[in-house]
C-alpha cells in the first residue's frame, strides 16, 4: 500500500471543503498506470478533522498512527502547497518516521519545490522531494517501492535528497504532457461523498511572471487539459461526489469556451482570473452559471503594479484599470457576486499608492449590484526565493519580518515614513467598501465556511456538538453534515467577531 496525504493548513479563514486536487492528480495518475498497486489518499482535515488546540491535535495524531499500523504503507507521499501547511508537514514526517523508520516519505508541491533545502535542514525524516509536477517522478518512485527497491535514484527526473550533509539533485524533466493526465479517481478517497466543493484545473501554468507569485518557479507557461479528459473527469466526479459547486483551480483561467458544458452539467462555477484577460462582454452569457467571480486585481496604482510586474507599461495599465471597471459594472449588472483580491503595503509603496487604490475602490463600489462585492485586501508577504524578496532587499527603506521560509514575512514598512498602522488603516478603509449582500455571503460561505473568522471562533459555544468529532469539542469536523449545521450560524458569528474580520491573517491560524 502507498498512501498520499494532504496535511492540515493552519490557516482556517480560506479553508475550502474540497478534495485535495494536487495529490489527487498525482495519486490518480499512479493508480491509472499501476492498477495492481494499492493506493489511497488521506485528507487529514476531511478524514480526521481540524484540531482546535493541542489536545485535538494529539487525538488526531494517535488516530492517524493507529490507521498506519493497520494499513502498513511502504511509502507515503505528502503534498505541501501552501506555506500555511509547511510546519504541519514537517511535524507529520517526524511523526511517521518516529512511528516506523522504514516507511519511505516523499514530498511534493509548491513549498518543497521552492524550499527543499530548508526542509532538509529542518528534518531528516524526509527521504525524497519531488520538484515541480509530480506525476512522472511519483510513478517511478511507487514502481520501485512496490518492488522493494530504493527510489533514491539518479534516473528519475526532478528529485532532491540529502545524504551525508549534501543535497543531490537529478536532471530537470520535461513539462508533464497533459494529454497523458489520468482521470481523477474519487475511489482513492476515504469519503468521496462528503466534500461540498469540486476543485478542477482546466489548465496549468501561467506566463505572466508577477513577482509575488510562485507560478514562475513551477510552470512559467500555460497548457490546457484536452477537452475529452475534462468531459470525462467532470461527469465521473459528479457521479461519485455530491458536489455541484466547481472551484476552478487554474493558475490563469481563460477557458471560457467550457461554459456550455458546465451549464449542461448544472454546475455553479467559481473562478478567478486576471483583470485584463476576462472580456466583459461575455459576462451576460455566463452569469447564470457563475457563483463568485474573483479578480486578482492587487492595486490601482501604476507604480505598484509595475513593481509587481503585473502591467508592462502605461498603456497596459490603462487597459487594466478600464477593463477592471468594465468587468465590475457588468458583473454587478448581472448580479454576480465579486471578490476583488488586493495586496496592501507592497515593497516600495507610499501612502499615495494606497490612496489611489482607495479612491479606485470607492469608484468601483459606486456601481454595486445585488450580487454584492468584497475587497479582500491583505498585508503583503515577502516569501524568500521569490522575486518580491529580491525587490524588498533592493529597496533600502523597506522593513519586513525576515523570518525565513516557514514564517509570515510581513512587510511592516513599505517605504520611508510609511508605517504598518497606516497600511492597516487603508486595509480597513478598503475592506469596509465591500457590499456583503446575503447572496455574496451565502455563496462565499458555501466555498469557504470560515471566511475571515478568527480561528478561535470555531470553539464558540453557539456551535452545536454535531459540528465536532468526539465529545470534548477539540476537533472540528468539516464533512458536509457538520458544515450544513455550521453555516446557518455564520451571520451570528460574523457579527460577534466583526472587529477581527479585517484583522491580519494570523488571527485565522489554528494554534496548537
Interacting residues toward ligand SF4 by CB under 6 A: 206, 208-210, 213, 215, 251-252, 274, 296
Strand-pair partners of 3: 40, 76
Binding range to ligand B12, per CB under 6 A, among 43-51, 72-80, 295-303, 400-408 = 72-80
Q: Which does 109 bind (CB under 5 to 8 A by kind): ligand B12, ligand SF4, none?
A: ligand B12
- How does DSSP classify residue 170? P
Q: Which does 16 bind (CB under 5 to 8 A by kind): ligand SF4, ligand B12, none?
A: ligand B12
Q: Does residue 89 bind ligand B12 (CB under 6 A)? A: no
Q: Footprint of ligand B12 on residues 316-355 (CB under 6 A)?
A: none
List, edge to edge, every strand of the sheet that includes 50-51: 50-51, 475-476, 468-469
**Which of 2, 3, 7, 25 is the binder for ligand B12 (CB under 6 A)?**
25
Q: How many residues does the chain have?
A: 512
Q: Which does 237 bind (CB under 5 to 8 A by kind): ligand B12, ligand SF4, none?
A: none
Q: Which does 209 bind (CB under 5 to 8 A by kind): ligand B12, ligand SF4, none?
A: ligand SF4
Are the C-beta atoms of residues 316 and 276 closer than 8 Å to each other?
A: yes
Q: Which does 48 bind (CB under 5 to 8 A by kind): ligand SF4, ligand B12, none?
A: none
**Which of 8, 214, 430, 458 is the binder for ligand B12 (CB under 6 A)?**
214
Q: How far is the CB of 501 from ligand SF4 (least distance, A)?
A: 25
Closest CB to ligand B12: residue number: 108
Q: Which does 25 bind (CB under 5 to 8 A by kind): ligand SF4, ligand B12, none?
A: ligand B12
**Which of 23, 93, 225, 269 is the binder for ligand B12 (CB under 6 A)?**
23
Nearest-angstrom CA–CA distance, 455 and 446: 18
Q: Which does 79 bind (CB under 5 to 8 A by kind): ligand B12, ligand SF4, none?
A: ligand B12
Helix (H/G/I), strand (E/B), else coil: 28: helix
Strand-pair partners of 294: 272, 339
- How does DSSP classify residue 176? P
List, edge to edge, every strand of the sheet that includes 2-6: 39-43, 2-6, 75-79, 104-108, 128-130, 159-163, 166-169
Q: How far is the CB of 109 from ligand SF4 (least distance, A)?
A: 16
Q: Which grid coordinates belong to 439?
A: 447572496
Alpha carbon distances (Å) from 230 to 23, 168, 180, 272: 18, 37, 12, 19
For 308-367, the DSSP string reads TTS-SSHHHHHHHHHHHHHHHHHHHHTT--EEEEEEES-TT--HHHHHHHHHHHHHHHTT
Using CB under 6 A, count the residues that bind ligand B12.
Answer: 41
For 242-311, the DSSP string reads ---EEEE--SS---GGGHHHHHHTT-EEEEEE-TTTS-GGGHHHHTTTEEEEEEEEE-S-HHHHHHTTS-
x/- track of binding to ligand B12 for residues 176-205 (CB under 6 A): x----------------------x-x----
Q: Which does 210 bind (CB under 5 to 8 A by kind): ligand B12, ligand SF4, none?
A: ligand SF4
- Report the residue number, 1 or 326, with the smaller CB distance to ligand B12: 1
User: Which spans of this chain sit near ligand B12 (rule: CB under 6 A)?
Assistant: 4, 9, 11, 14-16, 18, 21-23, 25-26, 77-79, 81-84, 106-111, 130, 133-135, 138, 176, 199, 201, 213-215, 218, 247, 249, 251, 378
Amino acid at each position: 500500500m502507498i498512501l498520499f496525504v494532504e496535511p492540515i493548513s493552519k490557516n482556517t479563514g480560506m479553508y475550502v471543503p474540497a478534495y485535495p486536487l494536487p495529490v489527487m492528480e498525482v495519486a490518480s495518475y499512479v493508480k491509472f498506470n499501476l492498477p495492481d498497486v494499492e493506493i489511497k489518499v488521506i485528507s487529514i482535515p476531511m478524514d480526521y478533522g481540524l484540531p482546535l488546540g493541542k489536545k485535538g491535535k494529539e487525538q488526531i495524531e494517535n488516530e492517524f498512527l493507529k490507521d498506519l499500523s493497520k494499513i502498513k504503507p511502504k511509502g507515503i507521499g505528502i503534498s505541501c502547497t501552501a506555506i500555511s501547511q509547511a510546519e504541519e508537514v514537517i511535524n507529520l514526517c517526524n511523526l511517521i518516521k518516529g512511528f516506523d523508520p522504514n516507511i519511505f516519505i516523499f514530498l511534493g508541491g509548491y513549498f518543497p519545490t521552492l524550499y527543499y533545502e530548508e526542509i532538509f535542514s529542518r528534518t531528516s525524516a524526509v527521504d525524497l522531494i519531488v520538484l515541480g509536477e509530480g506525476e512522472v517522478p511519483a510513478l517511478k518512485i511507487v514502481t520501485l517501492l512496490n518492488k522493494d527497491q530504493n527510489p533514491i535514484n539518479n534516473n528519475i527526473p526532478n528529485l532532491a535528497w540529502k545524504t551525508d550533509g549534501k543535497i543531490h539533485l537529478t536532471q530537470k524533466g520535461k513539462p508533464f504532457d497533459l494529454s497523458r493526465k489520468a482521470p481523477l479517481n474519487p475511489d482513492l478517497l476515504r469519503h468521496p461523498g462528503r466534500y461540498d466543493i469540486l476543485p478542477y484545473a482546466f489548465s496549468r501554468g501561467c506566463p505572466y511572471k508577477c513577482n509575488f507569485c510562485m507560478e514562475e518557479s513551477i510552470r512559467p507557461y500555460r497548457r490546457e487539459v484536452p477537452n475529452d479528459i475534462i468531459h470525462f473527469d467532470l461527469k465521473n466526479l459528479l457521479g461519485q461526489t455530491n458536489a455541484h459547486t466547481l472551484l476552478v483551480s487554474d493558475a490563469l483561467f481563460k477557458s471560457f469556451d467550457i461554459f456550455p458544458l458546465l451549464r449542461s452539467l448544472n454546475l455553479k462555477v467559481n473562478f478567478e482570473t486576471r483583470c485584463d484577460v476576462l472580456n466583459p462582454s461575455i459576462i451576460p452569457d455566463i452569469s447564470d452559471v457563475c457563483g463568485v467571480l474573483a479578480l486578482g486585481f492587487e492595486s490601482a496604482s501604476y507604480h505598484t503594479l509595475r513593481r509587481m510586474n503585473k502591467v508592462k507599461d502605461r498603456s497596459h495599465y490603462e487597459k487594466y484599470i478600464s477593463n477592471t471597471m468594465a468587468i465590475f459594472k457588468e458583473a454587478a449588472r448581472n448580479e454576480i457576486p465579486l471578490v476583488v483580491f488586493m495586496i496592501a503595503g507592497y515593497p516600495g509603496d507610499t501612502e499615495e499608492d494606497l490612496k489611489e487604490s482607495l479612491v479606485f475602490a470607492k469608484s468601483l463600489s459606486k456601481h454595486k449590484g445585488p450580487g454584492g462585492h468584497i475587497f479582500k485586501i491583505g498585508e503583503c508577504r515577502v516569501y524568500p526565493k521569490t522575486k518580491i524578496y529580491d525587490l524588498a532587499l533592493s529597496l533600502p527603506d523597506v522593513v519586513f519580518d525576515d523570518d525565513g521560509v516557514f514564517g509570515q514575512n510581513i512587510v511592516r514598512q513599505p517605504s520611508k515614513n510609511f508605517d504598518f498602522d497606516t497600511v492597516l488603516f487603508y486595509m480597513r478603509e478598503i475592506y469596509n467598501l465591500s457590499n456583503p449582500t446575503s447572496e455574496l455571503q451565502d455563496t462565499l460561505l458555501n466555498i469557504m465556511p470560515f471566511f475571515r473568522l478568527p480561528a478561535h471562533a470555531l470553539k464558540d459555544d453557539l456551535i452545536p456538538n454535531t459540528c465536532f468529532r468526539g465529545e470534548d469539542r477539540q476537533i472540528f469536523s468539516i464533512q458536509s453534515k457538520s458544515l450544513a449545521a455550521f453555516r446557518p450560524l455564520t451571520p451570528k458569528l460574523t457579527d460577534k467577531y466583526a472587529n477581527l474580520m479585517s484583522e491580519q491573517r494570523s488571527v485565522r491560524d489554528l494554534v496548537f
